[in-house]
Structure 1
Amino acid sequence: MVIDHVGYVFLRETDWAMLCYGLGRLSFPLFAWLLVQGESHTQNFRQYALRLLGMAILSQPIYQLTFGIALFEDFNILFTLLLGLLCLRAARQWPRWAVLIWLVGAIAAELATFNYDAYGIALIALLGNYKPTPLWWTVWCIFTALTVVVMPGNLQFLAGFAALIFACANHERGPKARWFYWFYPAHIGLIGLAAFGLNRPAG
């Protein structure tokens, strides 16, 4: 994520920009995976969701200023993760309605212009149903291949390789990583300040 953002702000006109962007495609699937693990292990879902909402709201003006985004044009990934979290919990509580829940979530992400849009919600849905079986891996590969068709010329298909990382996880509850929610706005803010100091244009 940091590499992607640094590349976007400082290296857009260099040969390194594409490399940074490609490496950055691995970040969202990993965050989505951590979200899925957090949802399944949290002892206080309401507090977890409210913390994510608070950080999303706090991050938004910083996100807009750093990347030159207009008001209500694009919402940062924490909003996408929050929507995915709500869909995860709803789908677990009402499994018979899971497909409809995820479909509504994907449409909402598109209409609200959340970062990663419906793709992000679909990815969270896939990870929320992760099982180390041939069927799951087949669906994951098809999903990854579809990104090439739906987003031609985009490197988003590289996100598919992130599955090789979380497939090695032990799926047990690890240490709490509340620092991540502060890291997201902090690193964007620092990049924005550095860009301002170097007189780099936003967006």
Structure 2
Amino acid sequence: MNYSTYSDQNKLNYKCISGSFLKICAIVIMLIDHLAAGLVLPSIISGDMYDFLSRFGIDVTLDLEIQIYVFLRGVGRQAFPIFCYLLVEGFMHTHSKARYSITLAAFALISELPFDLGLITYKAYDTLNLNTIYTEYETQIWESQNVYFTLALGVIAMWAADSILKKLKGINIVLAYAASIIPFGLAAWLAYYMKTDYNACGIAVIAILYYFHSICILATLLAYIFLTFTMSTPINGGMEEWSLPAFMIINLYNGQRGFIKKNFKYFFYIFYPAHLLLIFFLRYFLLH
């Protein structure tokens, strides 16, 4: 028996998920998460969910409504790890790291208003007046910036780290890796003080996936452990332990682009601000 052929066949069967599948999974899960945060939660607060379900003869308690909300948010924890992995993959294969960074930074700016309206000001479901919303929720708005800022900082940190490693590896490999951590530290500091989504912890996850990229199982295990022990605590009330399935799915990635053509890549950039605006308007028309 040719054991090398047998091993290769098993590998091909095991790595059965393309980049396209991962992207679709990530945006669908993100949509579920944001619908829960931007629509389900305010409908529970306003009592509209109870009224809506009552029309169909469904009698639910507040505890059950909250459990539904928590479950949907738990499902939503799968999105960020997949996006981080795709970010690192994109960085490894991009022809222009500068364009990649600029694109993410541009969409971070574009997405900030939709992010504020869709998720941060979720209690403002009785008005479309931006001046009123921003005046009433000014403090909350400054307390959180969208995830594109985290991803953009992550790419810039990888770019700087990559440059440092290429220059110093031939001189001293220990010094090279030690110095390459500095950009991630600066990015984490910026993410923390900018209050970006997932903040410094998000940058750390990107760094782990970057450094251990060639050993996917180890990279995902370390990233999951880090995310769980830093964000799922009694203090911050995180639910990152729910993200385990995402890290398992990442290990099924076969390294192929998949069925989505390169021309459609901007759809995934646009989807983020677009779906947040949709949630904002849906909340107004359904709960107003």
2:155 is matched with which residue?
85
Q: Which runs of 5+ in 2 are unaligned?
A: 1-29, 45-64, 122-136, 166-175
Share of identical aligned residues, percent?
Answer: 31
2:188 alignment partner, one of 100, 106, 109: 106
- What SS does the corresponding residue of 1:47 show, helix, strand or coil? helix
1:132–1:167 contact (8 Å) kept in structure 2: no
Query: Which one has a bigger Cα radius of gyration?
Result: 2
Give matches, 1:51-200, under 5 Å.
51-67=103-119, 68=121, 70=138, 71-95=141-165, 96=176, 97-129=179-211, 130-132=213-215, 136=219, 139-147=222-230, 148-149=232-233, 153-173=237-257, 175-176=261-262, 177-199=265-287
Distance 2:155 2:250 in 1: 18
Letter matched to residue 83 of structure 1: L
Is the counterpart of residue 16 in structure 1 residue 99 in structure 2? no
Count of equivalent residues? 200
Letter matched to residue 56 of structure 1: A
Q: Spell out, residue by residue over 1:47-84, the C-alpha distance to the aligned partner (whole angstroms, 9 max, x if none).
A: 22222122111111111122216343211001110000
TM-score calculated relative to the size of structure 1: 0.88
1:37–1:173 contact (8 Å) kept in structure 2: no
Letter matched to residue 159 of structure 1: S
Distance 2:219 2:228 in 1: 14
* Structure 1 residue 119 displacement after superposition: 0.9
Letter matched to residue 190 of structure 1: L
Distance 2:280 2:220 in 1: 39
Q: Spell out, residue by residue over 1:80-119, the C-alpha distance to the aligned partner (whole angstroms, 9 max, x if none).
A: 1000010111111113212222111111110111111111
2:101–2:155 contact (8 Å) kept in structure 1: yes
Instruction: Check 1:151–1:144 CA distance in 2 against 1; reply closer, same or farther (3 A cut).
Output: farther
* Structure 1 residue 133 displacement after superposition: 6.6
Q: Which runs of 5+ in 1 are unaligned?
A: none
Instruction: Check 1:151–1:40 CA distance in 2 against 1; reply closer, same or farther (3 A cut).
Output: farther
Instruction: Check 1:41–1:119 CA distance in 2 against 1; reply closer, same or farther (3 A cut).
Output: same
Distance 1:78 1:140 in 2: 19
Letter matched to residue 72 of structure 2: C
Distance 1:150 1:133 in 2: 30
Distance 1:181 1:138 in 2: 27
* Structure 1 residue 141 displacement after superposition: 4.9
Aligned-residue CA RMSD in angstroms? 2.2
* Structure 1 residue 153 displacement after superposition: 3.8
TM-score calculated relative to the size of structure 2: 0.63
2:34 is matched with which residue?
5
